[in-house]
Chain A
Amino acid sequence: MNRAETEAPPESPPLARRIVQEDGVVVEHENFQGDYRLLRLQAPAITPLVQPGQFLHLKAPHAAESLLRRPFSIYQAADGVVSILYKDIGRGTRAMTFLRPGETLNLLGPLGTGYPLEDRGTFPVLVAGGYGMAALYLLAKRHPNRGIAFFGGATPGDILCVPEFEALGWEVRVTTIDGGLGMQGKVTVAIDAWLAEIDETVRPEFYACGPNAMLKAVGDHALARDALAWLSMDRNMGCGVGACLTCVQKLHTEEGGWTWARVCREGPVFETRRILWDEEKAT
């Protein structure tokens, strides 16, 4: 039976309603790999509330002229400590590189609607580009099933966390644009190869985080297989709680039109069928 024809895609799970503002204390801040840093923060109020795919909105100290907070996917959350992986890409993240253990920074979180964890009897397929693997780690840990993870990056230095995912029981396949690690090419090359290998009875369900072009490609693969694809959308963000309407994303409506959704509140994770991509013509 073709499930996509008989069932509407399930809605995103209800928002974890509680949002907490808390001063996080830096317990560890170190080079993780290459240009990537790991920042671990003691945040006992936020940590137990975290669901896979949610994010933290933090006020970087040492950056007085930067008014806004910066959003980061939550990598790990356990024992009162949340962690993020980040890279110095601008004013806010540059200021963060100076953080030392013992310093505090103000956190809002956990924010947004993350990945669903329901066991639908499907085979979970994780797809990460950029440092999207950070956003997928908690899902890999808490998902009721084990499956396969595809990590794509420009160079071997961009491929993070492979041992961590393997330790959780996931098969990890790597692609790099320069061919320095794993298959050469975009991450979809490896997904195509895997889809050609597997038995027709395997019903994949995709969970992805990365650049929008990669997310769209993953969504298209899912549509072609009548599979679900949960995509974590990346948007510039303002308030992080749904007030400023900066991070809006177009979604299809049931009536055939479109509406804006807030990536920080209704998102960041949306099922691919709901997303109206920028390339499509809005009506």
Chain B
Amino acid sequence: MTPVQAAPDLRVNLGGIAMKNPVMVASGTFGYGPEYADLVDLNQLGAMVVKGIHLEPTRGNETPRTFETASGLLNAIGLPNPGFDGFVKTYMPFLRQYDVPVIVNIWGRTVDEYAEVARRFNDVDGVHGLEINVSCPNIKEGSALFGTDLDMFRRVVDAVRARTRLPVIPKLAPNVGDIRAFACAAEACGANAISLINSFPALAIDAETRRPELANVTGGLSGPAIKPIALKLVWEAARAVSIPVVGIGGIFNATDAIEFLIAGADAVAIGTANFTHPGTAMETVRGIAEYLDRHGLARVGDLVGTLAA
């Protein structure tokens, strides 16, 4: 009698955050959870990263806020959010019902604002980690600079690290000269993991009116159009650091996710695809398990960083 082969072990420890599988949903693409609860089983997610939270409620940008490009989506939403108090009161009771780690994406306009919003989450039950949004391309007051200026990046990560007891995950901007410098700086500042990439700064123009397609003029490009860029940056960053890496950028199916794992990501986050197919993350989990099984790999970690190059 042949022994029954055990199902592949999909568990991942993301810098102290225990996940049942490596598939997360990316900040800003899954709301705060209730938006998709009718359609998918949130308990099947590896982790949920909620839309960026600031100290105070903010309204975000004027419309139009998104524009579809060839195999991509350009957005300049502008981080509208209910603020720390609004988020904790309105959404945390909902999120605590689920057996899924909640990672809160945080942002500020100054280093002190980042530090303060991080500190406040110390007392919030049910939050498992903080993703630092240093790279939103659509906030005028310097947020993008925190992602592209190495010194300012260090100051933000240091400040957040000093104020929080939670695992910290800086989300790296793609538009930098050397992604390894930012990955290493994050690790040196005590980050528990890094996630990359955020959307790529971009512009779409209406030739007839000679006006930008977005009210904010420029936006961040996401979707399959940026996947090869993301894979390259994840591959470089993952080899430069020993902390876990979350790969993000145009993942629409399990094969895309597997490519990121091969490039060196320990976990992945589904972004734009959620808007098209709400069940993408769940299908990706099943597809990864099937792939591991087919390739005789016992654990998802056995696949990570196995690019034959």
Contact = CB atoms under 8 A, between A and B. Distances in A.
A89 interface: no
B73 interface: yes
B66 interface: yes
A246 B277 CA distance: 17
B72 A67 contact: yes
If over half of B's interface residues share one DSSP class (helix, strand or loop), that class is named, otherwise mixed; here it is: loop
B278 interface: yes
A246 B61 CA distance: 10
Contact of A65 (B38, B59, B70, B276): B70
Interface stretch (B29-37, B89-97, B141-149): B29-37
A17 B38 contact: yes
Interface string B15-36: 0000000000000111100011
A236 interface: yes
Contacts of A222: none
B80 interface: yes
B275 A238 contact: yes
Given A67-B73, A260-B80, A244 B64 contact: no
Interface in B63-114: 63-66, 68, 70-73, 75, 77, 80
Nearest to A21: B39
B60 interface: yes
A243 B224 contact: no
Nearest to A248: B63
A177 interface: no
A68 B274 contact: no
B77 A244 contact: yes
Contact of B276 (A19, A69, A242): A69
B223 interface: yes
B279 A21 contact: yes
* Secondary structure type dominating chain A contacts: loop
Interface in A44-76: 59, 64-69
B278 A241 contact: yes
Given A21-B279, A235-B63, A244-B29, A66 B68 contact: yes
Which of the four size classes fits the interface of chain B? 20 to 34
Contacts of B39: 19, 21, 108, 241
A154 interface: no
Given A19-B38, A66-B68, A236-B66, A243 B276 contact: no
A245 interface: yes
A262 to B, nearest CB: 9
Nearest to B278: A21
A137 B72 CA distance: 35
A240 to B, nearest CB: 8
Interface residues of A, number: 28
A12 interface: no
A246 B31 contact: no
B64 A241 contact: no
Nearest to A59: B276
A281 interface: no
Interface in A1-49: 17-19, 21
Nearest to A237: B66
B302 to A, nearest CB: 32
A59 B29 CA distance: 18
Contacts of B275: 67-69, 238-239, 243-244
A248 B65 contact: yes
A104 interface: no
B135 interface: no
B272 interface: yes
A220 B275 CA distance: 35
A97 interface: no
A106 interface: yes
B60 A106 contact: no
Given A243-B29, A244-B29, A245-B77, A67 B64 contact: no
4 smallest A-B Cβ distances: which pairs? A243-B31, A239-B275, A243-B35, A246-B66
8 contacts: A59-B276, A66-B68, A67-B275, A241-B35, A243-B29, A245-B80, A246-B64, A260-B60
Given A67-B223, A265-B35, 9 more contacts: A59-B276, A67-B68, A67-B276, A238-B66, A241-B35, A242-B31, A242-B35, A245-B65, A248-B63
Interface of B: 28-31, 35-36, 38-39, 59-60, 63-66, 68, 70-73, 75, 77, 80, 223-224, 272, 274-279
